[in-house]
C-alpha cells in the first residue's frame, strides 16, 4: 500500500471526522431546540428541521464538486474581500463593493492635500 497518498479518512457513512462533527453538532442543537419547553411543538419543529438540514448539507453536501463547508468558507471570504461596511452619518451601515472608484471618492483631491506647515 503506498504511503504517500493523501486521502481523507472516512469514519461512518463516508464522512470525514470534521463533517461527521458537523452532523453531530447539528443533531445535538436540534435536540436542544426540541427540548425547549417554552415554545409549543409547532414552533420548535421548523427550527429542528432547519438545524438537521444544515447538518446534512454541511456533512454530505457538495457544490460544484467541492464540500459544502469549503464552498461556504470560500463564498464568505469572497464577499468579505469584495465588500466592506461603510458608515454614513445618521444612516445605517451599508455594503459597498470595493472598487477603484470608491477608493478614489474617499481620498482627498490632489490639490487639497493637507501639509504640516
Please list the pLDDT of the chain residue by residue as tens digits (117 residues): 666 666 677 778 888 888 899 999 999 999 999 999 888 889 899 999 999 999 999 888 888 888 888 888 888 888 888 877 666 666 556 666 666 565 556 656 655 555 554
Asked if 28 and 48 touch (Cβ cutoff 8 Å), the reply is no
Q: Domain boundaries in the chain?
A: 7-60, 68-106
Predicted local distance difference test score (pLDDT) of residue 49: 94
- Prediction pTM value: 0.60
Residue 51: CB atoms within 10 Å: 20
Quote the strand ranges of 20-73, DSSP E.
62-63, 66-67
Angstrom distance (rounded) from CA 89 to CA 87: 7
The backbone torsions φ and ψ at residue 98, rounded to the nearest 5 degrees and listed phi first, read -85, 125
Amino acid at each position: 500500500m503506498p504511503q504517500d497518498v493523501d486521502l481523507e479518512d472516512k469514519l461512518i457513512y463516508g464522512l470525514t471526522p470534521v463533517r461527521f462533527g458537523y452532523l453531530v453538532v447539528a443533531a445535538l442543537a436540534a435536540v436542544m431546540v426540541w427540548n425547549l419547553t417554552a415554545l409549543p411543538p409547532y414552533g420548535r419543529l421548523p427550527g429542528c428541521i432547519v438545524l438537521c438540514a444544515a447538518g446534512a448539507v454541511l456533512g454530505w453536501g457538495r457544490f460544484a464538486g467541492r464540500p459544502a463547508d469549503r464552498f461556504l468558507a470560500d463564498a464568505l471570504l469572497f464577499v468579505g474581500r469584495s465588500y466592506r461596511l461603510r458608515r454614513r452619518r445618521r444612516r445605517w451601515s451599508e455594503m459597498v463593493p470595493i472598487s477603484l472608484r470608491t477608493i478614489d471618492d474617499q481620498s482627498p483631491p490632489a490639490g487639497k492635500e493637507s501639509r504640516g506647515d
